[in-house]
Amino acid sequence: MDYKMDSGWKLHPIGGDTGHAYMGVRAEEKVFLKRNSSPFLAALSVEGITPRLIWTKRIGNGDVMTAQEWLNGRVLYGEEMQSDEILSLLQKIHYSEHLLNMLRKVKGQVYDPEMFILDYLAELEEDLRTNTFLNQVVSYLERTLHYVKGAKYAVCHGDLNRKNFILTNDDRLYLVDWEMVKIADPISDISMILVKYVNPEDWDGWLNRYGIIQTEEVKMSLEWYSLMNRLILAKRYHTAGENIKMNQQILFMKEAFENRLHK
């Protein structure tokens, strides 16, 4: 695909959800190229959270292209998402006042809990929109918004999929694809890891390792964002035609509702 790159760069598309990523090759040089990345990328690069940013330039069609060092490695496996390295990287992101201030400087979007509900409802297909149980979950989340108000916000990646974690051949861990970065309750990030990659019986141990003290307020936030993220995942799986995975998320939500009724 021609993006009118100068100086002899050749672009080779890399598979992904956005279709905006490329391997750039010029002579013996190889870089990872992405168009219209978050301007927050520079701060993340300095902190060693993403691969090193080499340059940023505006190209012929008006897009902004960023080049990062090309690293040989692989994405993580699901079972690796419980590792101490993942916990350490998330702590580095969520606890950083510097990163939070940098994201504010580039006008990062502040995501209140209501916005997660709106994201789920946006362009929702009819069979999900008319599903009685899913509407019950949405109504519950709307009624309990007060439980998740007033949290201390932090930098949140917004899409903690295992495929966004890159482990290089020399064992360096990076988190990539920051297009959904937001200023939000870090429990929105944490609960996505939990619902996707950690067995429910292991949640307490994971949270203890992360350093979260489970007060009643924290427990309510975890319940709220866990349900919210399961709704979002059910919508994604439905769109992708992955009905088995969608139904698994719905079953987890039903179990959560039944457990609440028996408390």
Residues annotated as catalytic (active site), given as ranges: 159
Contacts of 128 (CB under 8 A, 6+ apart): 134, 234, 235, 238
29 membership: H or E segment, kind and range: strand 29-35
Please, what is the end-to-end C-alpha distance for the chain in angstroms? 57
Q: How many other C-beta atoms can be found within 10 angstroms of the C-beta atom of residue 34?
A: 24
Q: Which of 35, 79, 73, 18 is nearest to 51 (CA)?
A: 73
Provide the token pair at 113: 């809990």
